Structure 1
C-alpha cells in the first residue's frame, strides 16, 4: 500500500483503520485523475465511504476526539473570540474556553493553517475535535447568524458590470467567475491574473506592464470550490502537492485561447495564477532545437544507440514527452518492436503500441510484463523514483534499449540522482548511454525590449563580472502586453563514452563529473542561456530561472 499513497495521508489512515482496501484506493486515485477532486471527496463520490467514516478514521488514528455538535456544547462567550469570517473560511466552530486553552471543532484536523490563524486571533492555545462539516455550518448559522455570502460567491469588483457580478455570484461552483476572469485577461491584455487569500478575503489581482493592481475581492467561504473547479478544468489531480499547474481553454470570438493555471499552497488556501499559455512549436527535427554542431552530433550519437539506457529529463511532463518523441523520431525504428509505457510519450509522427498506466501501478511489474513481448526498445514515461529506475536499468541489462523520462529539469540534479542510484546499486553505469535534459525559456518581445544597466546585485547573482547591461520588455500591442516574444527550448546533451563512463563510475559528485565533461569540450545550457542574455533575447529573471530553479 505504501507504493500507492504516502504515509500519513488520508488514504494511509483509512487503510490502516481497515475502512478501505487497496482496490478502493486505486479507484479513488483514478477518480481524482478524471475529476480533479480531493481524495476523500472521491471516496465519498464513489460510495466507498461516508463523510462520517472519514471523520471517525481521522479522529481515531490521530487520537483526536470526534464530536456530534449540538447547541448545548457551544459557549456564546467563546464564539465571540473567533471572527465569523475566520470560522467559515476554515470550516471550524469554537466550543469552549478554559483559561488560555480554546477548544474548537473542525472538519479538517490536518489543517494546521486554521489552528495557527485561531491562535493568532485569540491568543489562546487551541485544542481540536473533529466534527461533520454539515453540523459545523449549522452551528455557525445558529451562533453567528446566517452567512451573508451563504448563497453568493461573494465576489465584489468595480471592473465588472452589475449583470456580470450577479451571474458570477449566483454560480457557487465558480465556473462563471473563472469564465469572466479569463475573458478579462484577454480583453485587458494582462500578463497574468492571480487569486490569493489575505486575511478574511481572497484578493483578485491583475498584472500588466510590470505592475499589479487589485481588481476585486472574493469571499473565502466558497474559494475552495473555485480552486476545485480550476483543478478539474486544468486536469490537475490530487491536492496534497506544494505546487501544481495545468492548462485550460477558453473560447472567445470563434477561437480557442489556452491558459496556464498555476497553484501554490499557501496559508488560508491556494495561491492561483492564470496567464495566457505561450505554446512552443513542436520541433520537426533536431535542427528546430537550434543546437550547436557539437550538441547535434551528440544527439545523433544517442539516437544511434541500439541498447542501454537513454534518460530524458524535464520538470514538465509535456516537455519531457515531447523530447522523448523527438528522440524516437530521430532513432531508426524500422523493423523494430517498440513498446510505450504511459499515456504521454509516443504522440509524435511515429506511433507505437502503448501500455497505459493506472494511478499507483507498479511500473517495475508492468515493465517486466512488457519485456515478455520481446521488444527492441521500451519507452518509460517517468522513471524518476528508485524502483522504476531500477526496473529500467534491469531492462537495459537484458539487452534492450530503454528511453526513460525523469522529472528533473537540470543536468546537475539529474547526475546527483544518478550518482545516488549508482551508490545504491540501482544503476549499472556500463549501460548508461547518455542524457537529454530540456527546459523552456520565455524570450523577450523584440519590439518592446529595452536595454538597461544591470544592478550590482544582478551582476553578482548572474555572475556577470564587472557589470554590464540586460534587457527587459514591458509589453506592447505586438505581444499583447505580455513582453513575451515566444518560447525556446534549451537542451543539455551528454553522450557517455568509455572514458566518460570510467570517470562516472568513480566521480565523488555530479559537479566533479560535469567539470570533467567540460574539460573535454562539453557545453551546457548555462553557456547557451548566457548567449541569449547577451543578445537581449532573455531577461535577467528568465536567465536566472533557467539556471537556478
Structure 2
C-alpha cells in the first residue's frame, strides 16, 4: 500500500511518483473534475494523460490489493449473488466464486464489506479494486435479474427465501438431450438440465466431472441414462449455480454439502435435494427430484395395487399405537408410501407429525418438524413427543438412539411410522445394529412393510403363453396363464417400459408373530408363516404383478424379491417343519 508519513497517498500522487503523470496534467484534471464531478481517474484517461492499465496499477498501490478489469465477460449467476440495489449502493460487484471475489470501487468501505458478509454468511470475501469508470460502464450494461418462475399466480420462492437468487426462466431444452445449449451460460444450462430431466420423468440427476468432459446422467425408471457429454470446463460453474440456488457456501468446495431449493415446472413446484462431494476432477453432485404431482395423484390404492395387501395396510395404519417399519433399499418408494399413509390418516382427524431433515412433500393436515445443525434429531423428537401426537413419522431411521426412542414412544401409545434403508430386513437392523432387546422390539412392533420397485410395462406390451410349467403356475393367479412380454414403441423410447410399480409385503403383527420375532425367527421364515396366515409375501406379490400384466418375468429376474425358504414353518418355534421337534 502506498503511504507517506502514515497517510495513504492519493491516486494523482501515486501516478506522479510513478512518472506517468506530471503536476500540470494533474492540475488540469482536477480543474476538469470540479466542472464534471467525474472520478479523477476517468478524467485523466479521457484527457489522454494516462491509460486504464496505469490507473489500475496505481489503485493496486493505493489500496494494497489486486485490481481487476470488468471488460471480460462475467457470468450472470455470479453477478446476481447480490441484489442490484446493493451493487449500486456500495459500488461493488461479485466477479468470481473462488471465495467470492468482490470488485470494489472503494475497498476501504468497511460498511459495505460488513453488509455483504452478513448476506453471504460463512463465505470468504476477497476484495479487489476496480476503476470507477469501468464500474459505471458495467452498470450501464449489467444483465437484468431473471424473473422468478411462477407457479399459478403467486411467485415461487426458493426453500430458504434467498433474495435475488432465483432460477432463471429460460427456454426449455428438448427431450432428446442437451446438445445445442449455450454451454457458457450456467444459468441457462442448469435450468435446461432440470427441465429436460422433469420432462423425461427422471428422479435423479448426477453430474460427474471427468478429466476431459462433464458427464450428466438421468435416473429414469430406476435406470441411469447418460446424456451428451459437456465440456469439462463448465463443471465448476454448473455445480456452483446449483449451490447458489440451494443457498450453500460456494467456498466450501473441499467439503461435502447438501441443500434444497424449489423449481417451477409446468406451473407446479418441484423440490430438489442436492448433495455434492469433492472428487478427483472437481465436485460430483446428485440432484433428487421430488415432484408434488406424484404425491397429489398418489393414493394407497394407486401405489399398493394388490387389493388385499392395500386392505391390510389400511387396517394396520388405523391402529392406535405401535411401530410400523417400512424397509427397503434406497429409491424403493418408502417415503412416498409413508406420505400416502399419512394422507389416508388425515381423514381420521388425528394429529399427524413428521420429523425430517428436509420435507420431500408438503401435505395439508400434517405438521412437519425439521431437524437442523442447531436443532438435532433427538431434541426435535423430544419436543414433538411433548405435543402428544397421535401419529409420528420418521422417514429415515438410521440412528440407534433414535430407534430405541421410537420403540419406547410406540410402547407409550403413539402410532409410529419409520423408514429404514436396508436390503437385509429389519430384524438384523433392530436387534443387531440398534441393540433393541428382541422381546421389547416384538412388543412394540405393529407391522412390517417391505418394499421394492420394478419397471412397469408400457402399453405396447404383447400377451403370450409361456412354457407349460410357467403357464400352470400363472393359471393359479389369473386363470388363463397368459402373461406379457416387453416390445418397445416411440412412447417409451423403445425401452418397452414406462414408469415403475411397487412390490409390497405387508405383515401385520399378532401375538403369534410377536412370539416368533421375540425368539429370533428369520425374515424368510416369518414371510412363510405370514403366508400360512393369509398374508402375501414379497415374491407372491411380484408374481401377481406379472400375472396382472404390470411387469414382465424378465424385469422381475433383476429384482431382489425371490428368497429361498423352506416349504413350511412351525407356528410354535419358527423352525422348518421338517426339522422342528414340537410335535414329535
Q: Pick the TM interval, shorter chain.
A: 0.5 to 0.7
Q: Which of 444, 462, 466 lines up with 1:431 in the alignment?
A: 444
Instruction: List runs of 5+ in structure 2 lacking aligned partners.
Output: 1-96, 101-116, 127-176, 468-481, 563-584
Query: Does 2:356 match 1:344?
Result: no
User: For 1:369, what is the secondary structure of its paired residue?
Assistant: helix
Q: Is the 8 A contact 1:323 1:438 kept in 2?
A: no
The equivalent of 2:322 in structure 1 is: 308
Q: Which of 478, 489, 504 lines up with 1:491 in the alignment?
A: 504
Distance change >3 Å, CA 246–CA 285, structure 1 → 2? same
CA distance, structure 1, for counterparts of residue 270 and residue 452 of structure 2? 20
Instruction: List runs of 5+ in structure 1 lacking aligned partners.
Output: 1-37, 53-157, 455-467
TM-fit CA distance, 1:183: 6.5
Correspondences of 1:316-395 after superposition (within 5 Å)? 319-331=333-345, 336-342=350-356, 344=359, 347-348=362-363, 351-359=365-373, 361-395=375-409
Query: Does 2:238 match 1:226?
Result: yes
Distance change >3 Å, CA 282–CA 257, structure 1 → 2? closer
Distance change >3 Å, CA 215–CA 318, structure 1 → 2? closer
CA distance, structure 2, for counterparts of residue 534 and residue 241 of structure 1? 49
Distance change >3 Å, CA 323–CA 419, structure 1 → 2? same
CA distance, structure 2, for counterparts of residue 270 and residue 518 of structure 1? 48
Q: Which of 409, 417, 432 lines up with 1:420 in the alignment?
A: 432
CA distance, structure 2, for counterparts of residue 365 and residue 334 of structure 1? 28
What's the CA shift string for 1:262-289, capped at 9, x where partnerless? 9897764566789999964646654334
CA distance, structure 2, for counterparts of residue 256 and residue 336 of structure 1? 28
Correspondences of 1:1-12 after superposition (within 5 Å)? none
CA distance, structure 1, for counterparts of residue 390 and residue 457 of structure 2? 43
Q: Is the 8 A contact 1:204 1:218 kept in 2?
A: no
The equivalent of 2:457 in structure 1 is: 444
User: For 1:373, what is the secondary structure of its paired residue?
Assistant: coil
Correspondences of 1:108-127 after superposition (within 5 Å)? none
CA distance, structure 1, for counterparts of residue 225 and residue 362 of structure 2? 39
Greater Cα shift, 210-219 or 380-389:
210-219
User: For 2:500, what is the secondary structure of its paired residue?
Assistant: strand
TM-score, normalisation: structure 2:
0.50
Query: Does 2:190 match 1:178?
Result: yes
| CA-atom RMSD in angstroms | 5.4
The equivalent of 2:517 in structure 1 is: 504
Distance change >3 Å, CA 418–CA 229, structure 1 → 2? same
Q: Is the 8 A contact 2:528 2:537 kept in 1?
A: no
Q: Is the 8 A contact 2:323 2:410 kept in 1?
A: yes
Distance change >3 Å, CA 440–CA 431, structure 1 → 2? same
Distance change >3 Å, CA 513–CA 246, structure 1 → 2? farther
Query: Does 2:521 match 1:517?
Result: no
Query: Does 2:430 match 1:407?
Result: no
Q: Is the 8 A contact 2:332 2:452 kept in 1?
A: no
TM-fit CA distance, 1:192: 10
Q: Is the 8 A contact 1:249 1:258 kept in 2?
A: yes
User: For 1:403, what is the secondary structure of its paired residue?
Assistant: strand
Query: Does 2:425 match 1:397?
Result: no
CA distance, structure 1, for counterparts of residue 530 and residue 545 of structure 2? 22
TM-fit CA distance, 1:326: 3.1
What's the CA shift string for 1:120-156, capped at 9, x where partnerless? xxxxxxxxxxxxxxxxxxxxxxxxxxxxxxxxxxxxx
Larger RCO (alpha carbons 8 Å, 6+ apart) = 1
Correspondences of 1:125-144 after superposition (within 5 Å)? none
User: For 1:428, what is the secondary structure of its paired residue?
Assistant: helix
TM-score, normalisation: structure 1:
0.52
